[in-house]
Amino acid sequence: MKHIFKRALALTMIAVLFAVSAFAAPTFSNVAYDKTSGNLTVNVDGYTGGKDATILVLKAGVTPAKATNNDIIFIDQVTIGAGETVADYVAPIKVRANAVGAAGVNVWVGGDEITTAVPYTKAGETGATEISLADDPAPSEPTYAVEFDKTAVYKTLEAAKGAVKVKKTLDGTVSYLTAGEFTVTETETATNVYTFTVKVGDKVVGTVEGVTITPDVTPGGKTGITGVVRYRRAVGNAYDLAPGALVLITSGKDIVGSAVTGSDGKFEIEVPAGTYRVVVRFALLSADKVTNYANTIITDVAVSDSMVSLVTEGREYIAIEKRLAGDANDDGVVNSNDLNAVKKAISALSK
Ligand SMILES: [Ca+2]
């Protein structure tokens, strides 16, 4: 049979419930308090079927022998079913605990097989374990500190952003966040100078001002075309440095840049980003002759954010080829245009 004791009767019942002779004490298999529902779940195992089992929930620190009416939060008795060994309780203790001002409770069990009330003791503890009814304390808020070495040289923005560290301090424990645990966004305040904003989630945890990037190629610096010009020797397939070659950079019909190669065959012409045609003209000079070479024309040369080192396809320099017999218009190829040019010249002469 099951008894639900009114508190008015409880005090007198306690003495009775816990005063019977018994066998080996059953053990707690589960004690759990759900703060949301206010229910305390208690499962006790090891009873004998047909015996009565009792639960007593008291204000923390109070023993059954010393309990007063206001110390009793919950009391119940169940009869263990035939062949069963378990007593299960769900005790709605929240309202009563609030009413008597209990911030925590102890759970005691008794019954036919327990001579003296047995408290619930958490593994590893001694005595009655208090079950706190209070809400969990608010978790400690970590603090963050952004660290960045401004004395180091950063060649790229990404390298600088990757050097940002975020130190986390939580309850006195210091650790560093991993790269995925924070974000770094940048604002460019001057050329190659940035302010970093560091966030953990949506929260700004720090900024770093005056982050300077020192790239190998200075953005905003020179853009254009550079190269070394070589001409094919009269005999064989070797190419010699071509000094005094005229290099023209054209955009459409306009010449946008020009240079003459030095004795090392090099030239460097600054032009803004764009796509260009490069025309290289060369004449080999000796003490008593001038030998014209064919024009080298390289089209669709793209310049974006740096100096483009221009070469003839398959070579490490710009090749100047011999002038072809029959190349009347000096464009490096012999075709019907040359024939027409010659015809036109002859025609003009004959008039
Ligand atoms: Ca031609």
What is the domain-level CATH number for residue 229?
Answer: 2.60.40.1120
Do the domain assignments include residue 250?
Answer: yes
Residues 156 and 255 in one domain: no
Residues 199 and 174 in one domain: yes
Report CA(337)–ligand 1 centroid distance (Å). Answer: 6
Report CA(335)–ligand 1 centroid distance (Å). Answer: 6
Domain of 38, CATH number, reads 2.60.40.1930
CA separation for the pair 84, 97 (Å, rounded): 31
Do the domain assignments include residue 290?
Answer: yes
CA separation for the pair 325, 339 (Å, rounded): 12
Per-residue CA distances from 216 to 121, 148, 213, 336 (Å): 69, 21, 10, 49
Report CA(324)–ligand 1 centroid distance (Å). Answer: 8
pLDDT given at position 141: 87
Report CA(277)–ligand 1 centroid distance (Å). Answer: 17
Do the domain assignments include residue 347?
Answer: no
CA separation for the pair 73, 107 (Å, rounded): 10
Environment class of 256 (CB within 10 Å of its CB; exposed 0-12, middle 13-18, buried 19+): middle
Report CA(329)–ligand 1 centroid distance (Å). Answer: 5
Q: Which pair of tokens denotes residue 27?
A: 């053990």
pLDDT given at position 117: 84
Residues 31 and 108 in one domain: yes
**Which are the contacts of 216, defined by CB distance < 8 A and separation ≥ 6?**
155
Q: Which pair of tokens denotes residue 191?
A: 């050329």
Residues 228 and 300 in one domain: yes
Residues 100 and 26 in one domain: yes
- Asked if 54 and 4 touch (Cβ cutoff 8 Å), the reply is no
Residues 12 and 94 in one domain: yes
Do the domain assignments include residue 88?
Answer: yes
**Which DSSP state fits 16?**
H
- Asked if 44 and 84 touch (Cβ cutoff 8 Å), the reply is no
Report CA(348)–ligand 1 centroid distance (Å). Answer: 19
pLDDT given at position 1: 34
CB neighbour burial string for 157-179, b if at least 16 within 10 angstroms, e if fewer: beebbebbebbbeeeeeeeebee
Residues 202 and 284 in one domain: no
Q: Which pair of tokens denotes residue 226?
A: 């550079």
How many other β-carbons are positioned within 10 Å of the β-carbon of residue 132? 13
- Asked if 49 and 85 touch (Cβ cutoff 8 Å), the reply is yes
Do the domain assignments include residue 13?
Answer: yes
**How, if at all, do strands 274-281 and 296-303 pair?**
antiparallel
Do the domain assignments include residue 337?
Answer: no
- Asked if 244 and 212 touch (Cβ cutoff 8 Å), the reply is no
Report CA(334)–ligand 1 centroid distance (Å). Answer: 4
Report CA(308)–ligand 1 centroid distance (Å). Answer: 28
CA separation for the pair 207, 281 (Å, rounded): 56
> Which residues place a Cβ less than 5 A from the ion ligand 1?
327, 329, 331, 338
Residues 312 and 246 in one domain: yes
SS3 44: strand
Do the domain assignments include residue 332?
Answer: no
CA separation for the pair 233, 29 (Å, rounded): 99
Report CA(256)–ligand 1 centroid distance (Å). Answer: 24
Last residue of one domain, picked from the residues 132, 167, 196: 132
How many separate domains does the chain show?
3
10-residue stretch averages of pLDDT, the chain, 351 residues long: 41 52 71 92 90 92 91 92 91 94 93 82 89 80 94 92 96 93 94 93 95 73 92 90 97 95 96 93 93 92 90 93 85 88 89 70
Report CA(191)–ligand 1 centroid distance (Å). Answer: 48
Residues 207 and 247 in one domain: no
Using alpha carbons only, how large is the chain's radius of gyration in Å? 47
Do the domain assignments include residue 189?
Answer: yes
Report CA(327)–ligand 1 centroid distance (Å). Answer: 4
Report CA(138)–ligand 1 centroid distance (Å). Answer: 86
Nearest Cα neighbor of 146 from 172, 190, 171, 183 is 183
Residues 164 and 233 in one domain: no
Which structural domain range is residue 182 located in?
143-212
Residues 128 and 147 in one domain: no
Residues 126 and 33 in one domain: yes
Report CA(297)–ligand 1 centroid distance (Å). Answer: 12
Report CA(265)–ligand 1 centroid distance (Å). Answer: 25
CA separation for the pair 302, 310 (Å, rounded): 10
